[in-house]
Amino acid sequence: MIVDQEDRADALFHALADRTRRDIVRRALAGEHSVSALAGKYDMSFAAVPKHVVVLEKAGLITKRRSARGAHLAGPR
Protein backbone atom coordinates (compact mmCIF):
# COMPACT_ATOMS: atom_id res chain seq x y z
CA MET A 1 0.00 0.00 0.00
CA ILE A 2 2.71 2.48 0.97
CA VAL A 3 4.77 1.54 -2.09
CA ASP A 4 1.75 2.25 -4.33
CA GLN A 5 1.34 5.68 -2.73
CA GLU A 6 5.04 6.41 -3.19
CA ASP A 7 4.88 5.31 -6.84
CA ARG A 8 1.89 7.61 -7.39
CA ALA A 9 3.70 10.51 -5.70
CA ASP A 10 6.78 9.85 -7.86
CA ALA A 11 4.62 9.92 -11.02
CA LEU A 12 2.96 13.17 -9.95
CA PHE A 13 6.22 14.93 -9.13
CA HIS A 14 7.83 13.67 -12.35
CA ALA A 15 4.87 14.93 -14.40
CA LEU A 16 4.87 18.33 -12.72
CA ALA A 17 8.65 18.78 -12.87
CA ASP A 18 8.45 20.00 -16.47
CA ARG A 19 7.25 23.54 -17.24
CA THR A 20 5.53 22.53 -20.48
CA ARG A 21 3.59 19.75 -18.74
CA ARG A 22 2.49 22.16 -16.01
CA ASP A 23 1.22 24.51 -18.70
CA ILE A 24 -0.64 21.69 -20.46
CA VAL A 25 -2.35 20.83 -17.16
CA ARG A 26 -3.29 24.48 -16.63
CA ARG A 27 -4.82 24.68 -20.10
CA ALA A 28 -6.66 21.34 -19.68
CA LEU A 29 -8.15 22.49 -16.39
CA ALA A 30 -9.40 25.68 -18.07
CA GLY A 31 -11.22 23.69 -20.77
CA GLU A 32 -10.94 20.95 -23.34
CA HIS A 33 -8.24 21.34 -26.01
CA SER A 34 -7.20 19.23 -28.96
CA VAL A 35 -3.68 17.88 -28.91
CA SER A 36 -2.98 19.50 -32.28
CA ALA A 37 -4.14 22.92 -31.01
CA LEU A 38 -1.90 22.56 -27.97
CA ALA A 39 1.06 21.55 -30.11
CA GLY A 40 0.87 24.90 -31.89
CA LYS A 41 1.34 26.74 -28.60
CA TYR A 42 4.80 25.34 -27.85
CA ASP A 43 8.18 25.68 -29.49
CA MET A 44 8.64 21.95 -30.01
CA SER A 45 7.76 19.30 -32.55
CA PHE A 46 4.20 18.04 -32.79
CA ALA A 47 5.47 14.56 -31.83
CA ALA A 48 6.84 15.87 -28.52
CA VAL A 49 3.46 17.08 -27.22
CA PRO A 50 1.77 13.64 -27.17
CA LYS A 51 4.77 12.34 -25.20
CA HIS A 52 4.09 14.97 -22.54
CA VAL A 53 0.40 14.05 -22.64
CA VAL A 54 1.20 10.39 -21.90
CA VAL A 55 3.20 11.36 -18.80
CA LEU A 56 0.35 13.55 -17.56
CA GLU A 57 -2.25 10.84 -18.24
CA LYS A 58 -0.25 8.23 -16.34
CA ALA A 59 -0.04 10.60 -13.39
CA GLY A 60 -3.81 11.09 -13.50
CA LEU A 61 -3.53 14.83 -14.09
CA ILE A 62 -5.43 14.95 -17.39
CA THR A 63 -7.80 12.78 -19.39
CA LYS A 64 -7.72 12.18 -23.12
CA ARG A 65 -10.81 11.60 -25.24
CA ARG A 66 -10.53 10.36 -28.79
CA SER A 67 -12.95 11.46 -31.49
CA ALA A 68 -13.12 11.42 -35.27
CA ARG A 69 -11.37 14.80 -35.22
CA GLY A 70 -8.46 13.67 -33.04
CA ALA A 71 -7.56 13.53 -29.37
CA HIS A 72 -8.88 16.09 -26.89
CA LEU A 73 -7.54 16.81 -23.41
CA ALA A 74 -9.37 17.89 -20.29
CA GLY A 75 -8.77 17.97 -16.57
CA PRO A 76 -9.04 14.76 -14.53
CA ARG A 77 -12.43 13.13 -14.09
Q: What is the pLDDT along the chain (77 residues), one digit of tens a residue?
A: 677 899 999 999 999 999 999 999 999 999 999 999 999 999 999 999 999 999 999 999 999 888 777 788 888 77
Closest CA to 32 of 60, 58, 65: 65
Rounded to an integer, what distance in angstroms lies between the CA atom of residue 31 and that of residue 26? 9
Helices (H), 1-77: 2-16, 19-30, 35-39, 48-58
Give the pTM.
0.86
Q: Kindly list the structural domains of the chain, giving each domain's residue range(s) and its CATH number in brackets, ordered by start.
A: 2-74 (1.10.10.10)
